[in-house]
Amino acid sequence: MVNTTPADVPASFLPAPAIEAVAVGYVRQSSAKTDKSEASPLTQRSTNESEALTRGARFLRHFEDIGISGWDPDAYREGFENMLKAARSGAFNMLIVYDVSRFSRREVMDAIPIVSELHRLGITIVSVMDGIFAPRDTMALIYLIMRLDAVNKESEHKSKKVRDVKAAQRAEGSWLGGQTPYGFDAERYLKGKLSLMRLVHSKKEAANLRRIVALIFKYKDQPVSKRKGQRNPGTLSAICDDMTAKGIPTRGQRKGKDRANSAWGVKTLKWILLNPAIAGMRADPIYKVKDNGTKTNTLIGYRIHRDEDGRPVMMCEPIIPPAQWYELQAWLMGRGQGEGVARGTSLLSGLRNADRKAILTCECGRPDKAQNSGAKPVYVCTRGTYVPTKPGEHEAKNSVMQSHLDDYVARRIFAVIQDATCSDASAETLAIVAEAARVFSMAQERPETAAERTEVVAERADAQNALSDLYDDLDAGLYSGPVGRERFIAKKARIEARISAAEARLESLADPESVELPLAAWLESENGDPLGEDSWWATADLADKRKFVELFVRKITVKPTANAHGGRVRGGYDVTKRIELEFVQPKRESESEAA
C-alpha cells in the first residue's frame, strides 16, 4: 500500500499556488549625463513599470543607481544593495530590469551568485529586452548567464576597437581630437588607412600669441613711470582689455556657437600662455580633484609628455621658442595679487627678489602696494576690503608711510655698504655684498652669455621636472616588477646625467667677469650722509634706486601697529619696530635658481 501525504511530494511537483506578483524595478545608469548608448533612467523606469502592468504584477517601487558604472568593481551600488535587502525580507517576488547588463558589465561570474540568490528567494527576473527568467528554471538560468556573457563580450569588443584605433593614433603622435590649444588648428591627414590629425599654426591666433608674449617681455621687468590714468601695457589685464577693444576674437567667438559671447579674461589668457603646446610640446591638462575624489573641470596645470631621456616630446612647430616659454611660465607662476609688472610709482612697490617673490610684504603674507592718492603716500597691504580677516591677521588696514619706510630701508642698506668699506667688515656684511656683486655682474654680462644661462637654467629645471614626474609614475605603480624597476633606474640615470651636465655648464657660466660694486660712488656725499642733499641717493632716478634696493634686499615685512603715533620721534618717525628686513644671501648648495 502506498501511503503518500502531500508533505512527501517534492514541492516542485505541486501546482504553484496563486501568489500575488509584486514587482520592483532596478534602474542603473553609468553616467549622470544621458548617453546615446544607454537607455535613460526615464526610459528604464517607464518600461519597467509598463512591463509590470503587462505581467499583471503590482508595482512597488524603483531601486536606482545613477552615475555608477557597471564596470567598476569597487563601486558601491546603494540602490542595488537596498534591492537585495528588500528581496531577502520577502518584500517582492518579481524584479524588472531594462536589460541584463543592468546587473553587471563585468565578469559573468560576478552576476551568478546574485542571480542564484534571487532565484533561491523565489524571485522571477524579468528583463524587458531579454525575456523572463523564473526561479528553479535551470535552462532559464543558463540562458540568462549566456546573455550576460554575450552582453559583456559585445561591449568589450566595442571598446577594444575604439582603444585600438586610439592607440594606433597615439603611436603615430596624432592629435587625439577635442578642442585644439589656442594658436592651433587641427588638420586631418591619412597615413595608410589610418586617419590622423596634426596641429598646425592658426595664422592669426599664432601671430596674436607672439605679439602678446613680446609685450609681456618688453614690460615685465621695466619700471615705467606711471602718469595719472596711464596703464602698464604689459599686464595680462591690460592685454585682455586691449584685445577686447581691438575686437580680436576669443576662441569662443571664433569657434563655438554657445560661447560666442565670451570675452577676453585674465584667467583664460594665463592658461593659454601656460600651455606647453605653444612651445611645441605635447602635454596633458591636469584638472583639480576634489577631496572626495571627483574630477572637476578646473584646470590646475599641464603635464608635459617625455621621452626615455625625460626630454619633452615635441608634437608641432613651436609658436614661441621653448626657452622663452619657460621664462614666461616662471613669470606667470610667480604672479599673485598685487604682483604686477614693476610699476615705478614708488621706491619699493612691485620689487621682486631673485625668487621672483614680492620684496615688500605685509605681515599677513600679502604684498604691499603703493597708494599715492592721499596727501601722504603710503604702502598698504593688498588684502581686499571685503576679504575676511583670518585668525591672527591684522584687523585694520596695515599701512606705512612711504617716506618713513623708504628712508629706513635706504639707511639700512647704506649701513651695510659703509661697513663693507671698513677693513674689519663682518662676515655677514661680506656675504651680502658678495651676493649683490654676483647679481650686479650678471646684469652687466654679455647678452649671449645671459641667453645661454637662461637656456641652461631652463634645461635644468625641465630635467628636474622630468625627475619628479618619473617619481610620480613610480608611486602610481608604472614601474612595478623587476623589468619596470630596471627601466626606472635607466631612465633616472639618464635624467640625472642631464641635470649634472646642466649644472656643470652653469658652473662655468657662474662668474663671467666679476664686476666690482661701485660702493664708493654710492657713498659719495659732501656732509658724509649718504642720503644727504647732494648724495648719489638724492640725485639718482627712481629706476636706479629701485635696482639698487633689489640688489641688497630680499624681503621687507611690515608689521601692523596698534598705535599709529607710537613711532613718533623728534623730527620724524621711527618705523624700526614695525619692520623686518632681510638682506640677500648667497644661495646654498641645496637651493636652485629654478626651483
The residues of the shown chain that bind Zn ion, judged by CB under 5 A, are 362, 364, 366, 381, 383, 398
What is the closest distance, in whole angstroms, from the C-beta atom of residue 559 to Zn ion in the complex?
10
**Residue number with CB closer to Zn ion (77 or 394):** 394
Do the beta carbons of residue 287 and residue 297 sit within 8 Å? yes
**Residue number with CB closer to Zn ion (140 or 362):** 362
Q: Which three cell numbers stand for residue 436?
A: 649683490
Do the beta carbons of residue 92 and residue 86 sit within 8 Å? yes
The CA distance from 131 to 153, in Å, is 19
Question: Where do we find the cell 610667480?
Answer: 334
**Residue number with CB closer to Zn ion (229 or 392):** 392
Report the candidate in 303, 320, 336, 130 with the shortest Cα–Cα distance to residue 212. Answer: 320
CA distances from 350 to 95, 213, 329, 361, 382 (A): 69, 20, 19, 10, 12
Do the beta carbons of residue 24 and residue 61 sit within 8 Å? yes
What is the closest distance, in whole angstroms, from the C-beta atom of residue 70 to Zn ion in the complex?
53
**Residue number with CB closer to Zn ion (147 or 394):** 394
568-569/572-573 β-pairing? antiparallel
Question: Where do we find the cell 621664462?
Answer: 327
What is the closest distance, in whole angstroms, from the C-beta atom of residue 382 to Zn ion in the complex?
7
In three-state secondary structure terms, 163 is helix
**Residue number with CB closer to Zn ion (209 or 362):** 362
What is the closest distance, in whole angstroms, from the C-beta atom of residue 362 to Zn ion in the complex?
3
Q: What letter would DSSP give residue 576?
A: G
The CA distance from 512 to 508, in Å, is 8
The number of beta carbons lying within 10 Å of the beta carbon of residue 315 is 19
What is the closest distance, in whole angstroms, from the C-beta atom of residue 266 to Zn ion in the complex?
22
- If phi > 0 it is left, if psi is from -120 to 50 it is alpha, else beta; for residue 385 that is alpha
**Residue number with CB closer to Zn ion (177 or 365):** 365
Helices (H), 445-533: 447-475, 481-510, 519-523
**Residue number with CB closer to Zn ion (383 or 578):** 383
**Residue number with CB closer to Zn ion (399 or 525):** 399
What is the closest distance, in whole angstroms, from the C-beta atom of residue 542 to Zn ion in the complex?
25
**Residue number with CB closer to Zn ion (243 or 362):** 362
**What DSSP string describes 349-368?**
TT-B-TTS-BSEEETTSPBE
**Residue number with CB closer to Zn ion (359 or 458):** 359
Residue 156 φ/ψ, nearest 5 degrees: -65, -45
- For residue 25, the cross-strand partners are 62, 96
Q: What letter would DSSP give residue 292?
A: T
**Residue number with CB closer to Zn ion (77 or 369):** 369
What is the closest distance, in whole angstroms, from the C-beta atom of residue 581 to Zn ion in the complex?
17
What is the closest distance, in whole angstroms, from the C-beta atom of residue 556 to Zn ion in the complex?
13
Which residues does 572 contact at the CB level (< 8 Å), separation at least 6? 404, 407
CA distances from 348 to 220, 372, 410 (A): 16, 13, 11
Question: Where do we find the cell 651636465?
Answer: 501
The CA distance from 18 to 20, in Å, is 7
**Residue number with CB closer to Zn ion (345 or 398):** 398
What is the closest distance, in whole angstroms, from the C-beta atom of residue 378 to Zn ion in the complex?
13
What is the closest distance, in whole angstroms, from the C-beta atom of residue 350 to Zn ion in the complex?
16
Do the beta carbons of residue 176 and residue 193 sit within 8 Å? no
58-66/22-29 β-pairing? parallel
